[in-house]
Structure 1
Amino acid sequence: MSASSELEIAGRVVELVRRLAGPDAQAEAVVTRTDLALTRFANSFIHQNVAESGVTVRLRVHVDGRTASGGGSLVDPDGLRALVERTLTAARLCPVDPAWPGLTAPSPVPPGTAPDEATGHADPDERAARVRAFVDAAEGLETAGFCRTSYRSGAFANSAGHSAQGRSAEAAMDGIARTGGSDGVARLCADRLADLDGAVLGARAAAKARAAADPVELPPGRYEVVLEPAAVADLLQNLAWYGFNGKRYAERQSFAELGAAQFDPAVSLVDDPLHSSTLPYDLEGTGRGPLTLVDAGVTRAVVHDRRSGAQAGTGSTGHGMPGAATFGPIPHNLRLLPAPTGDGATDGATHAGTRGNDPTDRLPAVAGGVTGAVADPDTAELVAGMERGLLVSDFWYTRVLDPKSLVITGLTRNGVWLVEDGVPTRAVRDFRFTESYPRALGPGAVRGLGRRSVRQPDRMDGSWWDAPPLRLAAWNFTGGASG
Structure 2
Amino acid sequence: MTELDIAGRVVELVRRLAGPDAQAEAVVTRADLALTRFANSFIHQNVAESGVAVRLRMHVDGRTAAGSGSLVDADGLRALVERTLAAARLCPPDPAWPGLTPPSPVPSGAVFDEATAYAEPDERAARVRAFVDAVGGLEAAGYCRTAYRSGAFANSAGHSAQGRTAEAAMDGIARTGGSDGVARHCADRLADLDGAALGTRAAAKARAAVDPVELPPGRYEVVLEPAAVADLLQNFSWYGFNGKRYAERQSFAEPGTAQFDPAVTLVDDPLHGSTLPYDVEGAVRRALTLVDAGITAGVAHDRRSGAEAGTGSTGHGMPGASTFGPMPRNLRLLPATGGDLAAGDLGTAGTTGGVGAVADPDTAALVAGVERGLLVSDFWYTRVLDPKRLVITGLTRNGVWLVEDGVPTRPVRDFRFTESYPRALGPGAVLGVGQRPARMPDRTDGVWWEAPPLRLAAWNFTGGASG
TM-score bucket of the superposed structures, by smaller chain: over 0.9
Which amino acid counterpart does residue 112 of structure 1 have in structure 2? Answer: G
Aligned to 1:138: 135
SS at match of 1:278: coil
Aligned to 1:355: none
Which amino acid counterpart does residue 290 of structure 2 have in structure 1? Answer: L
Q: Give the Cα–Cα distance (whole angstroms) in 1 for the partners of residues 327 and 117 of structure 2.
A: 26
Q: CA deviation at 1:278?
A: 1.3
Q: Give the Cα–Cα distance (whole angstroms) in 2 for the partners of residues 82 and 199 of structure 1.
A: 50
Describe the shift of the 1:40–1:369 C-alpha distance in structure 2 as closer, same or farther (beyond 3 A).
closer
Equivalent residues in 2 for 1:392-471, closer than 5 Å: 392-471=376-455
Asked if 1:94 is matched to 2:91, the reply is: yes
1:370–1:424 Cα contact (<8 Å) kept: no
Q: CA deviation at 1:277?
A: 2.4
Deviation per CA, 1:138-190: give whole Å up to 9, x if none. Answer: 00000000000000000000000000000000000000000000000000000
Equivalent residues in 2 for 1:262-273, closer than 5 Å: 262-273=259-270
Asked if 1:122 is matched to 2:106, the reply is: no
Asked if 1:482 is matched to 2:452, the reply is: no
Q: Give the Cα–Cα distance (whole angstroms) in 1 for the partners of residues 324 and 188 of structure 2.
A: 29
Which amino acid counterpart does residue 115 of structure 2 have in structure 1? Answer: A
SS at match of 1:409: strand
Asked if 1:174 is matched to 2:171, the reply is: yes
SS at match of 1:133: helix
Asked if 1:74 is matched to 2:71, the reply is: yes
Q: Give the Cα–Cα distance (whole angstroms) in 1 for the partners of residues 286 and 106 of structure 2.
A: 9
SS at match of 1:136: helix
SS at match of 2:186: strand
Asked if 1:157 is matched to 2:154, the reply is: yes
Aligned to 2:361: 377
**What is the TM-score when the length of structure 2 is the normalising length?**
0.96
Q: CA deviation at 1:373?
A: 4.7
Aligned to 2:345: none
* Pick aligned residue for 1:334 from 309, 331, 335: 331
Q: Give the Cα–Cα distance (whole angstroms) in 2 for the partners of residues 74 and 56 of structure 1.
A: 8
Q: CA deviation at 1:372?
A: 5.5
Q: CA deviation at 1:474?
A: 0.2
Which amino acid counterpart does residue 59 of structure 1 have in structure 2? Answer: L
Q: CA deviation at 1:114?
A: 2.8
Q: CA deviation at 1:340?
A: 2.0
Asked if 1:282 is matched to 2:279, the reply is: yes
Q: Give the Cα–Cα distance (whole angstroms) in 2 for the partners of residues 237 and 373 of structure 1.
A: 28
Identity of aligned residues (%): 85
1:29–1:57 Cα contact (<8 Å) kept: yes
Which amino acid counterpart does residue 331 of structure 1 have in structure 2? Answer: P
Deviation per CA, 1:10-37: give whole Å up to 9, x if none. Answer: 0000000000011000000000000000
1:176–1:186 Cα contact (<8 Å) kept: yes
Q: Give the Cα–Cα distance (whole angstroms) in 1 for the partners of residues 312 and 38 of structure 2.
A: 45
SS at match of 1:326: helix
Aligned residues: 455
Which amino acid counterpart does residue 403 of structure 1 have in structure 2? Answer: P
1:370–1:426 Cα contact (<8 Å) kept: no
Q: CA deviation at 1:235?
A: 0.3
Which amino acid counterpart does residue 231 of structure 1 have in structure 2? Answer: A
Q: Give the Cα–Cα distance (whole angstroms) in 2 for the partners of residues 416 and 90 of structure 1.
A: 52
Q: Give the Cα–Cα distance (whole angstroms) in 2 for the partners of residues 28 and 255 of structure 1.
A: 33
Aligned to 1:195: 192
Deviation per CA, 1:85-111: give whole Å up to 9, x if none. Answer: 000000000000000000000011111
RMSD: 1.1
Asked if 1:30 is matched to 2:27, the reply is: yes
Q: Give the Cα–Cα distance (whole angstroms) in 2 for the partners of residues 151 and 62 of structure 1.
A: 31
What stretches of structure 1 of length at least 5 have no aligned partner? 343-367
1:114–1:167 Cα contact (<8 Å) kept: no
Q: Give the Cα–Cα distance (whole angstroms) in 2 for the partners of residues 248 and 207 of structure 1.
A: 41
Aligned to 1:361: none
What stretches of structure 2 of length at least 5 have no aligned partner? 340-351
Aligned to 1:241: 238
Aligned to 1:348: none
Which amino acid counterpart does residue 225 of structure 2 have in structure 1? Answer: E
